[in-house]
Chain A
Amino acid sequence: DQQVKQNSPSLSVQEGRISILNCDYTNSMFDYFLWYKKYPAEGPTFLISISSIKDKNEDGRFTVFLNKSAKHLSLHIVPSQPGDSAVYFCAARGNTGNQFYFGTGTSLTVIP
């Protein structure tokens, strides 16, 4: 059973507007959450992370929010740029510290 879920397979946003990508998880023992970005024919690259003891982490145009009670995290991109068009995966680290669980990905298209 999928422990990390991204229920929106795709999202389209106008350039300059906010992109909000969502992720839900089921395991309350996850201690770190991460977002990766993936371009076609390339491996995923790390974007931003958040510890389970925080509720927000910001890095430039990217902000990740964590709602532990709802087991939900979201990635906000403001302002969105055409170069942000990619597949975004959320991931969670299990409590052993070695295993990571990935969502199914959301394909973001930023329209110029």
Chain B
Amino acid sequence: NAGVTQTPKFQVLKTGQSMTLQCAQDMNHNSMYWYRQDPGMGLRLIYYSASEGTTDKGEVPNGYNVSRLNKREFSLRLESAAPSQTSVYFCASRVGSGYEQYFGPGTRLTVT
């Protein structure tokens, strides 16, 4: 049981480049989330998917898109990366009725 996995672990992009962060969970959870963690800002929700086939904006969605590919996978895409998107990105999942979230190990992204 791997839990929540994220790829890549590290990434450096130039301004304007695009990339997709991948997330998968093997716990059969309904809900999945993308957060970013910045110094002094805590964890902020970018997008979430309450169930397969649905996605919703969180607190800081601008500059990002998401795809809930199936129940297991939830990807985050940066179409045109900006230095302000330099951050650590965490994916999380949750059983539909529960409140506890399970987090992946994170992706450290630097945009130069």
Contacts and interface: CB of A to CB of B under 8 A. Distances in A.
Interface residues of A, number: 25
Interface string A40-77: 01111110010000000000000000000000000000
Interface footprint category on B: 20 to 34
B58 A99 contact: yes
B48 A44 contact: no
Chain B CB within 10 Å, residue with most, of A2, A41, A89, A104 = A104
A42 B88 CA distance: 11
Contacts of A91: 43
B99 A32 contact: yes
Contact of B99 (A9, A42, A49, A104): A49
A41 B105 contact: yes
Task: Give the top 7 A-B pairs by smallest Cβ distance, nearest first.
Answer: A43-B103, A104-B42, A102-B43, A46-B100, A32-B99, A102-B42, A98-B50
A87 to B, nearest CB: 10
B71 interface: no
8 contacts: A34-B99, A36-B103, A41-B105, A43-B4, A43-B103, A43-B105, A44-B90, A103-B42
Contact of A34 (B31, B50, B100, B103): B100
Interface string B85-110: 00000101000000111111110000
Contacts of B56: 98
B100 A42 contact: no
Contacts of B53: none
Nearest to A102: B43
Interface string A1-35: 01010100100000000000000000000001010
